[in-house]
Amino acid sequence: MGADSDAGATPAVPWRKVLYERQPFPDNYVDRRFLEELRRNIRVRQYSYWAVVREAGLVSQQLSCVALFLTLWSYMEQGDVGPSALLWTGLGCSVLGYMLYEALGGGTCRERTRCADLQSAAVFMAFTFGFSPVLKTLTESVSTDTVYAMSAGMLMAHLVSFPYTQPSLPGSLSLNAALFASVCLASRLPGTLHTFAMLSCALLIFALWPCLLQRLRHAAEWTFPWAAGMVCVCGVVGVSTLWPAGALLLFLALVVLTLVCPLLLVRLQRHKDNIHGPWDEAEIREDLSRFLS
């Protein structure tokens, strides 16, 4: 952009901001009216600290879900938790969660009946139980270190690709990454029933819990912070029973994600400076739907 060239002799022909018309001015010429259309921060969204903390709580609780899943897997690998106990606990949590999900739904129109939901759950459990022997031997030819590395990478991909803006619809990449990591870890458990219990637990944590949490956010907004906080506490306490130093690291990570990062976002927002002017791309504001019909 050239500098203002009004200083000096004023040409007899006034400058016009038009294209494809020969004028006695350089191509980069602008007059003093050029910056009159300059606007700053016209579409900047003002954030509230506690609103950002609330949204960051979803990220923290998802990280805690991963920590809780790894804690349960570690207990099963060590033999401290049996597969039958995990299955009965998961069944009880599923029933309570489904009842709560239905109660929060109120009078909304349902696309599926309860019988269809029960049938889908039964089919999934039957197929998972039937394929458990196959899944148990799926990674026998792969070294344990490689399995652990793949599981860590898939869980990281799950956290990165999780649809935090709309967790009621788990993304295919996020859910598949979590289930792939679950299959890898479950294949290192002692028996077939252990594998079935671990995969059922993974479905409960990574697929069903986000749906219930989103229903809590919409139907009973005040319950969401308590639910997210409960998951975070369970994750930290679970890790502390196995690795106290890891629990401290998880606690610090949750504090940074939930409290420090939102504070940085709000503090840095005052330094945001977006400029808009006549150099921006043209925006067609006319309704052109009549030409498309």
Pairing type for strands 275-276 and 39-40 reads: antiparallel
Each residue of 102-129: b (16+ CB within 10 Å) or e? eeeeeeeeeeeeeeeeeeeeeeebeebb
Domain ranges of the chain: 63-102+112-267
How many Å apart are CA 38 and CA 171, to the nearest integer?
41
How high is the pLDDT of residue 260? 93
Whole-prediction pTM: 0.77
The residue that leads in pLDDT, 264 or 270, is 264
* Alpha-carbon 270 to chain mean position: 26
Residue ranges of the alpha helices (H) in the chain? Answer: 49-78, 83-105, 114-136, 144-161, 172-186, 192-203, 209-219, 223-240, 244-255, 261-269, 289-292
Span 195-224, pLDDT tens digits: 999 999 999 999 889 888 888 888 878 888
Helix (H, G, I), strand (E, B) or coil at 39: strand
Structure tokens belonging to residue 254: 């949750």
How high is the pLDDT of residue 109? 56
Q: Please, are residues 216 and 227 in contact by the beta-carbon 8 Å criterion?
A: yes
Beta bridge partners of 275: 40
pLDDT exceeds 70 at position 108 = no
